[in-house]
Amino acid sequence: MYIEKCHVDLNMIKIVTVIGARPQFIKAAPVSRAISREAGLHEVIIHTGQHFDENMSQVFFDQMQLSRASHMLDIHSLPHGAMTGRMMEAIEGILMQEAPDWVMVYGDTNSTLAGALAASKLHIPVAHVEAGLRSFNMHMPEEINRILTDRLSHWLFCPTPVAVDNLTREGYEHFPAKMILTGDVMYDASLMFRDKATRPAGVDLDKPFILCTIHRAENTDDPARLDGLIDAVNTLSEERGVIFPMHPRTRKMLGKSRLNSLSKGIQVTEPLGYLEILYLLQHCELVMTDSGGMQKEAYFFNKACITLRDETEWTELVDAGYNRVCGSDAKNIIHHFHHFTENPPAFAEGLYGKGNASAIIAKAFLDQNT
């Protein structure tokens, strides 16, 4: 079905934004402020429910002052195909009702792909924030989601020159799509909220500590990988404190007995809100993570990062010497921890723009009919 629309007054441009996971709430906060409050455009938010509990969802809306979602789908805890299909079906109905001028999606989750597919089937142009990223690992669901979303998108908002180069190599200059180098909207968010950072309750911060997060299925669902990561964390906790906000998937896969076997130097917490994470980023000595977003956040706060994966999309961090990709091998992780403590990086600004990515995105919408 094709949605027929006539463009009216510029300020009546309607954008439907599809989000559903923690990183997307962070990315959407500065962009929504720029397009709705500053540019005066009409935004409707669909929350798919991919992250649904209080600690993974609502706390981010509250802390980051995101507008309440107009449509809450409550679709989660399903296999990838089922989740994406149900999201696509629900989003399609909402788009037929809302008849927007644009659909905007973020990143690389099932919510991202479902929004892009539903919009494309209805011939609604798609704007993809954080376009052009590649891990070159097709075993990652996120890699499949980002490649397909890019191919469906009319506007490709790229966070880095590397992302632009990736799309150029794939032939996007010959596709009916526009690549726009914006900088990274997560950098915008860190600048917007860093002064509101909040110390987490009940956490001992009296000695140097490592901030650690593990959540990706490639780590949590592989017992050998998870064992290697936990061995590394236990060993490093003999030298430094470790604060470990634990994702529900990680807690489930560890089980009670393995949780009880963690070193006393490891402080396990429930998932934390964005403002609490910002506080820990500001005060930690080093970051260990399998999160894509936290690799960048470590850089925003001049902290070295050990990436607990076999590859990263953020290759500029590795090239600059701020990030070491260590996989799940405990000896490798410990080795690179000691490298960073003995050779702390000299950080330079500028890898992710000037903190005005959201303004560039808003201007693109404003300029489209002028």
| DSSP string covering 184-224 | -HHHHHHHHHGGG--PPTT---SS-EEEEE---HHHHT-HH
Q: Can you give the pLDDT at residue 255?
A: 86
pLDDT digits (tens, 9 = 90+) for 168-215: 999 999 999 999 999 999 999 999 999 999 999 999 998 999 999 999
Nearest to 114 by CA among 66, 76, 156, 160: 76
Common-topology check for domains 10-184+353-367 and 195-342: yes
Asked whether 259 and 251 are in contact (CB, 8 A), the reply is yes
Q: What is the CATH number of domain 195-342?
A: 3.40.50.2000
**Where along the chain do its domains lie?**
10-184+353-367, 195-342
Q: Can you give the pLDDT at residue 71?
A: 95
Domain 10-184+353-367 matching CATH 3.20.20.140: the answer reads: no
Q: Is the pLDDT of residue 31 over 80?
A: yes
pTM for the complete prediction?
A: 0.91
Q: Can you give the pLDDT at residue 22?
A: 86
Is residue 46 helix, strand or coil? strand
Query: Which residues form the catalytic set?
Result: 215
Q: Can you give the pLDDT at residue 38?
A: 81
Q: Can you give the pLDDT at residue 37?
A: 80
What pLDDT band is residue 53 in, cutting at 50, 70 and 90? low
Q: Is the pLDDT of residue 35 over 90?
A: yes
Chain mean pLDDT for the chain: 92
Q: Is the pLDDT of residue 12 over 80?
A: no
Which 3-state string (H, E, C) describes 270-293? CCCCHHHHHHHHHHCCEEEECCHH
Is residue 127 helix, strand or coil? strand
Tell me what the mean pLDDT of segment 310-339 comes to. Answer: 97
pLDDT digits (tens, 9 = 90+) for 224-278: 999 999 999 999 999 999 999 999 889 998 888 788 889 989 999 999 989 999 9
